[in-house]
Each structure stands twice: as structure tokens, then as C-alpha cells.
Amino acid sequence: MRIGELASSTGVSVRALRYYEEQGLLASTRSNGGQRHYGDAAADRVHLIQMLYAAGLSSRTILDLLPCVDAKVSTPQSRALLNAERARIDEQITRLVQARDRLDAVIAHSQSSASGCTTADAAAVAA
């Protein structure tokens, strides 16, 4: 499949895919004319990359991490790397939960002091 198809099937922009390749995160074979071709596994790889980006990892960190994911072998270094990143994600989750709790407190106060709590409000809360 070519880059446009991979882009639309993954929901990632063509530019981003080229950027991933530039960063060494995503490989491609080239046609005679130089156009990128991808196998079926590429979509999964892109999803994984996206997920790690969403977890706040930098492309550099992902670059370090991906060989650990690909490799069937495991080194102390790779395990350490994986665990370190896991810990960082954990920490981020903790901070997010704290922030959410803080917002919840504000919301609770906001609603208790709301004299007229209409149906629209209930809908907003449910959403």
C-alpha cells in the first residue's frame, strides 16, 4: 500500500508518516520511482507509535523503545528502558487523576451552590 492509503486507514497525516520515517520509527520499501510502499503490519506499527506519542513519549524515546518491542530478545538495558517509561506513564496518570479530583471538587462545589439545577445541567454532567 502507498502512503496515502496508509494515512487514510490510520487517520494519520501523510506528513506525519513521512516524519515518522525521518525519525526512524517507521520503515518503508521504495518503488523504482522512489515512492514509499508499506506492508500490512505498518498500520499496527503506526497505531503503536500514536499510542506512545499520546502517552507523552518523545520520538527519541519511542525510537529507543521500538527495538525492545520488536526484538524477541531482551537485554537488561531494554527492560530498564521499558520499566522507566512505564514508571513515567504511571506518574503522569497519577498527576492526571489528581487534576481530575481537583476539578471534581470544584464541580461538586459548583453544583451544590447552584440554586436552579435544571435538566440541561444533568445532561451536561452525564456527558
In the complex, the residues that contact DNA under the rule CB under 7 A are 2-5, 7, 13-16, 18-19, 23, 31-36, 53, 57-60
Checking 114-120 for CB contacts under 8 A at 24+ apart, the result is none
Report, in Å, the least distance between residue 125 CB and DNA: 19
By beta-carbon proximity to DNA, the closer residue of 1 and 82 is 1
Q: What is the DSSP string of 28-78?
A: -EE-TTS-EE--THHHHHHHHHHHHHHTT--HHHHHHHHHHHH-SS--HHH
First and final C-alpha spacing in the chain: 39
| Residue 116 DSSP SS3 | coil
Cβ proximity to DNA: between 16 and 82 the closer is 16
CB 106, min distance to its own copies, A: 5
Residue type, position 100, single letter: R
Q: Which residues of this protein are in contact with its own copies, per CB under 8 A?
A: 48, 51-52, 54-56, 64, 67-69, 71-87, 89-90, 92-93, 95-100, 102-104, 106-107, 110-111, 113-118, 120-122, 124-127
Which of the listed partners (DNA, its own copies, none) does 122 bind, with a CB threshold of 5 to 8 Å by partner kind? its own copies
* Binds 13: which of DNA, its own copies, none (CB < 5-8 Å by kind): DNA
37, 30 in Cβ contact below 8 A?
yes
